[in-house]
Amino acid sequence: MPHPLGTQPSKIVAVHLNYPCRAKERGRVPDQPSYFLKPPSSLSGTDDALVRPGGCELMAFEGEIALVMGKRAHRVAPEQGWSHVAWVTAANDAGVYDLRYADRGSNLRSKGSDGFTPVGPRLLDATRLDPAALRLRTWVNGEQVQDADTATLLFPFGDLIADLSRLVTLEPGDVILTGTPSGASVVSPGDVVEVEVSALDQEISSGRLRNTVTDAGHDLAAWGAMPRVDAALRADAWGTGHADTPALDPDIAAALRGLATATLSSQLRKRGLQHMTIDGVRPTDPTAKLVGTAHTLRYLPLREDLFEKFGGGMNAQKRAVEELRPGQVLVMDARRDPTAGTIGDILALRAQQRGAAGVVTDGALRDSAAVAALGLPTYYAAEHPAVLGRRHIPWDTGVPIACGGALVQPGDILVGDADGVLVVPPDLVEELIADSAEQELQERFIAERVAAGEAIQGLYPLGPAWRDAYQRWRHLQSSPQTGLESSPQTSPQTGLQTSPQS
């Protein structure tokens, strides 16, 4: 279907980062807006196909609000910027990461292909809209993956127009793509992407811009840059929306499940890390093991005049749940206030369906019996029947938080068992696993010796007098031929032979 603009614009200007949630995903918050150009030939309309070029695998969608200029803008002030906009509509700033390396910064090949800027289906009269009160939503195959409003943009629309018009004259019909919120990710042939822009009350809407991803059906000609991907690029492209990539390496996760938090805590203390426990929380199931990476949610104290704006609708609490990837732990900073619930059974169920590894909150758990019945490893400070609006406002996600007195950064590793929950720095995890495994092996040896009647002096912790006996015992553990029962050992304290299994 033809795009609704009628005529081709002289230019399409796209903003790199403008939503705080997207900036957090990318790990940087720009001081000033930055831009790239998309060719007018990339425009398309609703129901037009998004064609993935041959040889590419990382076709990405980015739901955006498109501004269509109505008046020529040249050196206008920020407070005048919005008055130069005639129309607002939905857009998809589509692209392929596979070709991003070829035009670093300009994005020409990665985002400039024919049809890579669908807009529509309806144009909204800008004079009827509040630019700070627009809502953007995106769906993939019917599942909502993006939901944000324009109240907290890094660079409001009037500022963008003023900034651009200092040096670039914006002509009537020009299009500005104003950035995408968190949740943008990769789609494949057959997937359907829908984007809608509306007023916050949804009484005025662009309708859903609907495009189906297809494959080009032919190879990309071999002259020029060819598609190229690696693991880092895949991780960047998939972002928080990748439903198939675990947040933690499976081998590391398996190794951590075999270690006690008491052992890991001891190893962390040896490295000078004394404040890595999330204190004051208990598990719904002491027999369950929690292992995963942190996805954070921060609550702030209730302020009634702000709750409607930040606590209603698709608030940070709900976004945090919808942003979860398999293997992540939802970690909540509720300021250790146990007098209102921070999550209940419905959102915990949704977290489980998203593949969450568990939930940790230093506040209260609502619907505690139902949450416990889910079997999702959950740690909490108290039970409470009241909803979060009694004490808290869900404020933001993906930021460093304080949970139970511990600093938790997004991506930190959480390990929990009946003793509690630890925060493990990712850059230390491999050496911690190796040293913890050795510590637990030593403690197993020590426990066997104590069970056999040995005194703990010189044995716990393992002293020089027991080192040779431990090394012989340790060798037997790795020997597939020898059973411990058939290999007695001599106590260095008594000189008597004792069985390692006695």
Q: List, in order of start, the domains of the chain with CATH numbers.
A: 12-241 (3.90.850.10), 250-426 (3.50.30.40), 430-498 (no CATH)
Mean pLDDT of 24-40: 87
pLDDT of residue 427 exceeding 50, the answer is yes
DSSP strands (E only) in 95-232: 95-96, 117-125, 134-140, 143-149, 175-177, 186-187, 192-199, 209-215
Q: Could you tell me which residues are annotated as the binding site for substrate?
A: 344-347, 366
pLDDT score of 222: 87
pLDDT 10s digits, 384-423:
999 878 899 998 888 889 999 999 998 899 999 999 999 9
pLDDT score of 500: 37
pLDDT of residue 489 exceeding 90, the answer is no
Q: Which of 38-52, 62-76, 477-491 has the lowest mean pLDDT?
A: 477-491
Q: Which is more confident, 497 or 437? A: 437
Mean pLDDT of 269-279: 95
Q: Could you tell me which residues are annotated as the binding site?
A: 344-347, 366-367
Give percent of the chain with pLDDT exceeding 90: 68
Q: Mean pLDDT for the chain?
A: 89
Q: Residue 75 burial (CB < 10 Å; 0-12/13-18/19+)?
A: exposed
Mean pLDDT of 479-494: 44
Q: What string of DSSP letters covers 4-67?
A: TTSS--S-EEEES---HHHHHHHT---SS--EEEE-GGGEE-TT--EEEPTT---EE--EEEEE
At 82, the pLDDT band (50, 70, 90 cuts) reads very high
Cα–Cα distance between 179 and 157 in angstroms, integer? 11
Neighbouring residues of 492: CB distance < 8 A, sequence distance ≥ 6: 458, 465, 466, 468, 469
At 485, the pLDDT band (50, 70, 90 cuts) reads very low
pLDDT of residue 181 exceeding 60, the answer is yes
pLDDT of residue 497 exceeding 60, the answer is no
Cis bond upstream, residue 121 (ω within 30): yes
At 127, the pLDDT band (50, 70, 90 cuts) reads very high
Q: Could you tell me which residues are annotated as the binding site for Mg(2+)?
A: 367
Cα–Cα distance between 363 and 402 in angstroms, integer? 12
pLDDT 10s digits, 238-253:
764 444 445 678 889 9
pLDDT score of 411: 85
